[in-house]
């Protein structure tokens, strides 16, 4: 009915936070990592604002495509009150219930997947740093 | 069906992104995340629908399935259009800029 509005609200907040973080961010951190041949090389760590962009794109993408589905099903209309369910009090209650259940779980799942992506990215960064340290140690031993 | 079509679009765009990474001049990452976001949201929708309909969820009427397939394809097309607009506006390869301004 209007479950995408919860994700849309989160997307607006994430976009604002991302812009604020981007302004405050200093020069990206340099680190030594090991690429495919294990040789240590200097690379730039992805800034947090870039990682926030992943969440922003997940949320906006999902919101736009779901909004289209709601237009397709006639649940969103181009005239006031824009949501057909909002015109009838009984339907409005059902709509709010759907937003509180389906909508909130959608936003939570997308955020959880993004947190998982952050975890995997951190693991890959640590592994690359370890490989570089091992490469440096081997070079020093030779 | 809409979830299935969008999930396939997400997988295909992710494979294309991986093939072209770390180059990002086609902004395929944006397309991937857009489709994955929609797929995750429709997954939640599907779980709720399954909880309501149980096994009936997997045996939709042919007309309903066709409508969902049509919707899924339209969603994929809309995603591609949104991505194309972002690509042309951000213009990471400077193609639009080079077309609009010719060097003297």
Rounded Cα gap, residues A8 and A79, in angstroms:
19
Per-residue pLDDT of chain A (142 residues; tens, 9 = 90+): 789 999 999 999 999 999 999 998 877 767 766 666 656 677 778 899 999 999 999 999 999 999 999 999 999 998 888 898 888 888 999 999 999 999 999 999 999 999 999 999 999 888 887 877 777 777 777 6
Residue B102's pLDDT band (boundaries 50, 70, 90)?
confident
Q: Could you give phi then psi for residue B101, rounded to 5 degrees? A: -120, 120
Does A65 sit within 8 Å of B75, measured CB to CB? yes
Rounded Cα gap, residues A30 and A56, in angstroms:
25
Q: Which residue has the higher pLDDT, B5 or A42?
A: B5
The one-character DSSP state at B26 is T
CB B31 within 8 A of CB B90: no
Structure tokens at A113: 């997947």
Rounded Cα gap, residues B67 and A89, in angstroms:
29
CA angle centred on B3, ends A113 and B11, rounded to 5°: 60
CB A29 within 8 A of CB A45: yes
**Whole-complex ipTM:** 0.91
* Structural domain spans, chain A: 4-141
Rounded Cα gap, residues A18 and A60, in angstroms:
13
Contact map slice: B 62-91 vs A, CB within 8 A: 71, 74-75, 78-79, 82
Tell whether A85 is within 8 A of chain B (Cβ): no
Task: Express as a percent the part of chain B with pLDDT over 90.
Answer: 77
CB B90 within 8 A of CB B27: yes
- How many angstroms separate the Cα of A123 from the Cα of each of A46, A56, A119, A126, B29? 13, 22, 6, 5, 20
Task: List Cβ neighbours of A136 (8 Å cut-off, separation of 6 or more).
Answer: A32, A40
The one-character DSSP state at A2 is -
The pLDDT, as a whole number, for residue A36 is: 61
CB A3 within 8 A of CB A66: yes
In DSSP terms, A31 is beta-bridged to A43
* Helix ranges (DSSP H) in chain B: 2-20, 28-53, 62-90, 95-100
Does B41 sit within 8 Å of A66, measured CB to CB? yes
Residues B28-59 pLDDT 10s: 999 999 999 999 999 999 999 999 998 898 99
The pLDDT, as a whole number, for residue A63 is: 96
Structure tokens at A42: 């200097």
The pLDDT, as a whole number, for residue A38 is: 58
Q: Is the pLDDT of residue B88 over 90?
A: yes
Does residue A119 have a cis bond before it (omega within 30 degrees)? no
Structure tokens at B6: 């969008």
Does A7 sit within 8 Å of B41, measured CB to CB? yes
Nearest-neighbour CA in chain A from B98: distance (Å): 27
Q: Which residue has the higher pLDDT, A38 or B88?
A: B88
């Amino acid at each position: 009915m209007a479950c995408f509005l919860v994700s849309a609200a989160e997307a607006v907040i994430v976009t604002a936070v991302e812009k604020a973080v981007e302004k405050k961010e200093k020069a990206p951190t340099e680190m030594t990592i090991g690429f495919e041949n294990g040789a240590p090389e200097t690379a730039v760590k992805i800034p947090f604002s870039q990682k926030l962009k992943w969440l922003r794109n997940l949320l906006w993408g999902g919101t736009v495509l779901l909004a289209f589905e709601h237009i397709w099903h006639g649940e969103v209309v181009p005239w006031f009150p824009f949501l057909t369910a909002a015109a009838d009090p009984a339907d409005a209650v059902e709509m709010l219930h759907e937003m509180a259940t389906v909508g909130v779980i959608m936003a939570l799942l997308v955020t959880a997947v993004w947190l998982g992506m952050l975890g995997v990215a951190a693991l890959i960064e640590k592994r690359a740093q370890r490989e570089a340290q091992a490469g440096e140690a081997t070079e020093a031993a030779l | 069906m809409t979830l299935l079509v969008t999930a396939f679009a997400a997988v295909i765009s992710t494979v294309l992104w991986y093939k072209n990474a770390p180059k990002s001049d086609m902004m395929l990452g944006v397309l991937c995340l857009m489709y994955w976001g929609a797929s995750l949201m429709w997954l939640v929708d599907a779980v709720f629908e399954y909880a309501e309909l149980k096994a009936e969820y997997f045996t939709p009427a042919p007309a309903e399935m066709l409508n969902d397939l049509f919707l899924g394809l339209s969603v994929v097309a809309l995603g591609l259009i949104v991505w194309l607009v972002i690509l042309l506006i951000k213009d990471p390869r400077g193609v639009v800029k080079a077309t609009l301004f010719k060097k003297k």
